[in-house]
Chain A
């Protein structure tokens, strides 16, 4: 294409696009290959792969949950056949959406200030969707080469990475479900070589919701800046300080968001303190 000579009026952007498209159409007509069988052959191979993958997933799913006990609620490699029936009055279940919604789910955990809740639920997803729909109007340049579209490429990489990270974090978000944490207690006793006096405290620690914010020997999740408590005993804070802290956390650690556990009663707080002081880390 010859350089446009000076003085000649440059065609408008839309006219340039139309010319290019007309040229493309003519080129395809002249030099293109027929869709059938060339392109359709590739499509058919790919479709076969898709169907085979779907069937394989279904077979692996069924075989791994069914084999051990012939019980559909058993969790195989790809999850159970069904969960127990819906119980609207449950108080021990951890809801999760299907995996392709994990990025939205984790977004909700990020926006954890009450004033910002609607940003995580509606605000950010709506803005993202609007940007996605408006893309052809935001990017009107004619060039399609990735090397000549730096903004688009950077935006794409950022989007893919952030959605991937959000999905991964959503998938691995751990919960402090009392029944599940309790199963870790024997492991804790072994790892920490806990004396018998510390065991009632270990049980209380598992069910009182401590693992909602604290991590301990691989269990629990980290929330609101709560420290890991696996080695808390090695700081030798003493039983009295531990009890005082549990009764009124901000008196020992100013500004702490930890709630008071006073209502457990002094006897149980004492048991918890013994457990915490005995937790000197993996022996």
Chain B
């Protein structure tokens, strides 16, 4: 399969950090567009006055998910090369609870 382009050799690894910067710029741009530069807008999710965090996050998940499945089906993207994280249930749930609590206190 042709993608990921970095691991399949289509793109030279020397461009690695250039694309890191580019991807970061895109990510930051849309996060701010959505209003996530504002701590009050972020925490409004937890007072149920503005559900943007939910809407943005799950739309992003579904979009990327559908793209990954489609690109894999047409034989373009090798899913085996993507970052699958092992399941460590207890630390992930405890870490999530701590992070979530800090999210509401600090406003990220």
Does A associate with B in a complex? no
* Chain A residues near B (Cβ < 8 Å): none
